[in-house]
Amino acid sequence: MSCLVLMRFHIVEPHRALFPLTYSLTWRALNSVSISRILRESYRLLQLPDEGSSGPAAVKEAYLRMAKLYHPDSGTPTADAALFSRIEEAYRAVLADLARQNSASQYTQQIQEEEEEDKVKGHAPQHRHYLTFEGVGSGTPSQRERQYRQFRVDRATDQVLEYRRKEMEKAAADEGAMVTRDARLRSKQIKITQAVERLVEDLIQESMARGDFQSLSGTGKPLNKFDYNPYMDPMTHNLNRILIDNGYQPEWIIIQKEIRETIEKMRAKLQEVRARLGEPMRPSEALQWKKHCAAFDDELVKLNKTVDNFNLIVPIMSRQMVHFSLKREVEKIQKTDQMLRQEKERERERRRKEEMKTARTSQHTRQGLITWMQNLLK
């Protein structure tokens, strides 16, 4: 009796154990059927092709296109709030389905990689894993490949840093050698300077011992260059005196001197040309005079540029110079030529009068001599 009861119990228990599993499978099947129906409806609302053939970008573009048509605020005749809410739910459902498919594909790819690694492990010895990638890394081949790439990047970085360190050490060594060489050159120059100074000092002392400095003209007299000037700083005054005594001249004084000498030469040259021509001038002489005046004008243009440079550096405004004018210069030269010609004419008249006076005197003397001789012969 007990055995029969136990047999019935064992027979009934498997059915009770399998019932939840069967129920869950049935529920999942029904749920998947309802989900697939909802997805098809969502794809239909969004006017998309079948499942799996549209990407996220295409789904978003379809949603925006439908929103422009059925959104309540779009202002189109086809606006419908209820239909737009269904379109929005369909859009979310399709996005969720695409995310689920993406995760499932990634999981499947990972499973395939693991199966492929298991096959490799089953067919190849374990030590073959360390024959590639220089024995770097651990894990799957893809993981070891990523680790090996990172290892190569780190090694290249270390090599670059090592190369830079060596270059910096080399540059520092070269710089140290240059500093040492410069220090040696400076010390050598200092030694030469000190030797020259000692030689000059020895020569001065020998001259003083011989008495060469006792017969100087200014012995015992104060130096004129250090005279006191109440209108100038003593240091500035003394420096100016020393510079003047040694022939130093400021740049603006040298340029001023050059301008004066140049204009005097130009005037003398043009004055000489005018003196060679007649008064009044013939047509050929007038052409020559115009040609020389044009050359004189070109030289004046260059000289006026020098005057501009002089005016920029001269320290006193009253020392500035004006431009030379061709008209004024030609008028001065013509006036000077007229004065010279008048002076020559007066000189010629004076000489003519002296010659006439001398001729009269000689004539009177001759007549007197003749009269004296006549009186003597009588």
Tens-binned pLDDT, residue by residue, of the chain (378 aa) = 334 343 444 444 444 444 444 444 444 444 454 557 777 887 787 777 765 567 778 888 888 888 888 888 777 888 888 888 888 888 888 888 888 877 777 767 777 776 676 665 555 444 444 456 777 777 788 888 888 888 888 888 889 888 988 888 888 888 777 777 777 777 777 878 888 888 888 888 888 888 877 777 767 776 665 566 677 787 888 888 787 777 788 889 899 999 999 999 999 999 999 988 888 888 898 899 999 999 999 999 999 999 999 999 998 888 899 999 999 999 999 999 889 888 988 998 998 888 888 888 888 788 877 888 877 776
- The reported pLDDT for the residue numbered 263 is 94
CB 97 within 8 A of CB 46: no
Question: Would you call 59 exposed, middle or buried from its count of C-beta atoms within 10 A (0-12, 13-18, 19+)?
Answer: buried
Whether residues 311 and 265 share a domain: the answer is: yes
Whether residues 265 and 364 share a domain: the answer is: yes
Domain annotation covers residue 38: yes
The tally of domains found in the chain comes to: 3
- Show which of 67, 91, 124 is a domain's final residue: 124
Burial 133-163 (b: 16+ CB within 10 A, else e): beebbeeebeebeeebeeeeeeeeeeeeeee
Exposure on the CB side of residue 318, measured as CA atoms within 13 A: 0
- Show which of 181, 211, 241 is a domain's final residue: 211
- The reported pLDDT for the residue numbered 312 is 93
Domain with 37, as residue range(s), is 2-124
Q: Which residue has the tokens 């030797």?
A: 195
Alpha-carbon dihedral of residues 362, 367, 371, 372, nearest 10 degrees?
A: 0
Domain annotation covers residue 223: no
- The reported pLDDT for the residue numbered 7 is 42
- The reported pLDDT for the residue numbered 249 is 82
Whether residues 187 and 297 share a domain: the answer is: no
Whether residues 80 and 20 share a domain: the answer is: yes
CB 62 within 8 A of CB 49: no
Answering whether pTM is above 0.85, one says no
- The reported pLDDT for the residue numbered 26 is 45
Domain annotation covers residue 273: yes
- The reported pLDDT for the residue numbered 142 is 83
Domain annotation covers residue 133: no
CB 148 within 8 A of CB 142: no
Report how far residue 66's alpha carbon sits from residue 57's, in angstroms, rounded to the nearest whole number: 14
- The reported pLDDT for the residue numbered 195 is 81
